Amino acid sequence: MTGVGIVGTGISGLQLALRLQQSGVPVTVYAEEEVDRLKGARPRNFPARFGRTQQRERELGVFAWDFADAQVRHWAVTVRTGDPAPLEFLADLTPPSSVVDFRIYLPHLLNAFLDRGGELVVGDRPVEEIAGRHDLVVVANGNRSMRRLFPVDRSRSPYTGPQRILCAGIYLGIDEEVPHSLDIHFLPGAGEILRLPFYSPAGRADVLAFEAVPGGPLEGICHADPDADPAAFRRQVLDLVAVHAPGLRERIDTAGFSLTAPGELAQGALTPVVRQGWARLDDDTCALAVGDAWITNDPLTAQGANLGSHTAFALAELIAGGTGPFDEEFCRDACARLWEHARHVVEWSNAFLGELPPHVGEVFRRAAADKRVADAFVSNFNDPVTMWRTVSGPDGVAAFLAGFDGA
């Protein structure tokens, strides 16, 4: 076997590479650029990795951040419902999520792969060339360059444009009400404001993120240029927080509030899409897509990296357990099996971008009155299948809430 070629050194590609390596399958990773470039890059994402992802990392022997400064243990949720007082609840997230900057996380995984004898090829190479060298090529790189191979699957992609516009930075000067907690403010019609602890290259800091509904009151900051006038940008951020999340504003020290360094900010928008998960290449070989190359979710439900990790393990099992050939039939079958799990993430994530349905409002109301409901709801972010079964309709919510009746 000439093994598997993996294009991309994000969480999906690296966890797949490490898992195949563990299973004794020959694997080569293809990276666009040297790993040191990643360390010096601007932040592109702020992924929270839930318990199941951390468990997979432990199985791979790469989990390295078992300390409080890299964890979220509680969620403080505020929902503006139109009533004068918002709904509020504090929930325990069990197990805690891990919040490590990918500029720390990804080089750590890549180095583990290399230390164990893994092969890395750096440089831009056509997928067709890579496919010619291996039994199977897996594209795990959500970059634009790979998209031509995997057209959008319209039947699984309800949106044709971004549903949120993002402005998220890594800041100093924000205090926490509850240590190691995340704040999320749901602002119907406007979007969401989040604050979460984050283990960044500058050490423990906080991510402050605006997920703006296009055309709504949070959108302006997503287009403001922090480099052109840093003081004006800072003022605009503080003013928005004061209006839409006043409790959070009270915990920001105006004098000490700043990005951890210039450029530690990500702004932009993505359209949530599911792409065709496999492609036939020129010479009748096939390429599979995983991670963001296959499915791009809006970050709101914090699932993209977790889904990439889940898919990496599931695909590694199919490859290691397969007898070959890794042809079109294998790719088609693998894709169908992986979708069985992934569809829950996609349908839930897409639903959360729309208006708050009454049955989800009911979960929030019960969570505000009963901490057991709050804890269970928040902890289900670690279990997207259960989460989607719960919030997909009134029956799921009724069954979920019935579990707390009478106890």
Binding footprint of ligand FAD on the chain (CB under 6 A): 8-13, 38, 41, 43-48, 102-103, 140-143, 166, 168, 266, 291-292, 299, 302-306, 308
The pairing of strands 258-259 and 136-139 is: unpaired
For 39-62, give the DSSP string: HTSPP----EE-HHHHHHHHHHT-
Is 248 within 8 Å of 193 (Cβ atoms)? yes
314-333 as b/e: b if 16+ CB within 10 A: bbbeebeeeeeebeeebbee
Nearer residue to ligand FAD within complex by CB, 266 or 274: 266
User: Could you tell me which residues are beta bridge partners of residue 204?
Assistant: 199
Task: Provide, rounded to whole angstroms, the least separation between the CB of residue 365 and ligand FAD.
Answer: 25
Angstrom distance (rounded) from CA 331 to CA 405: 46
Task: Provide, rounded to whole angstroms, the least separation between the CB of residue 270 and ligand FAD.
Answer: 7
For residue 299, give both structure tokens.
């970050």
Nearer residue to ligand FAD within complex by CB, 164 or 366: 164
Angstrom distance (rounded) from CA 331 to CA 149: 14
Nearer residue to ligand FAD within complex by CB, 6 or 397: 6
Task: Provide, rounded to whole angstroms, the least separation between the CB of residue 50 and ligand FAD.
Answer: 8
Task: Provide, rounded to whole angstroms, the least separation between the CB of residue 272 and ligand FAD.
Answer: 11
Nearer residue to ligand FAD within complex by CB, 101 or 135: 101
Q: How many residues does the chain have?
A: 407
Task: Provide, rounded to whole angstroms, the least separation between the CB of residue 114 and ligand FAD.
Answer: 15
Angstrom distance (rounded) from CA 129 to CA 114: 22
**Sign of dihedral through CA atoms 384, 389, 393, 396?**
negative
Task: Provide, rounded to whole angstroms, the least separation between the CB of residue 284 and ligand FAD.
Answer: 26
Is 27 within 8 Å of 21 (Cβ atoms)? yes
3-state secondary structure of 78: strand
Nearer residue to ligand FAD within complex by CB, 46 or 400: 46
Task: Provide, rounded to whole angstroms, the least separation between the CB of residue 201 and ligand FAD.
Answer: 11
**Phi, psi angles (nearest 5°) of residue 332:** -60, -45
Nearer residue to ligand FAD within complex by CB, 11 or 331: 11
The closest alpha carbon to 274, from 384, 150, 152, belongs to 152
Task: Provide, rounded to whole angstroms, the least separation between the CB of residue 9 and ligand FAD.
Answer: 4
Angstrom distance (rounded) from CA 149 to CA 145: 9
Nearer residue to ligand FAD within complex by CB, 306 or 390: 306
3-state secondary structure of 368: helix
Nearer residue to ligand FAD within complex by CB, 31 or 401: 31
User: Could you tell me which residues are beta bridge partners of residue 106?
Assistant: none
Task: Provide, rounded to whole angstroms, the least separation between the CB of residue 34 and ligand FAD.
Answer: 10
Angstrom distance (rounded) from CA 377 to CA 400: 9
Nearer residue to ligand FAD within complex by CB, 168 or 374: 168
Angstrom distance (rounded) from CA 110 to CA 62: 10
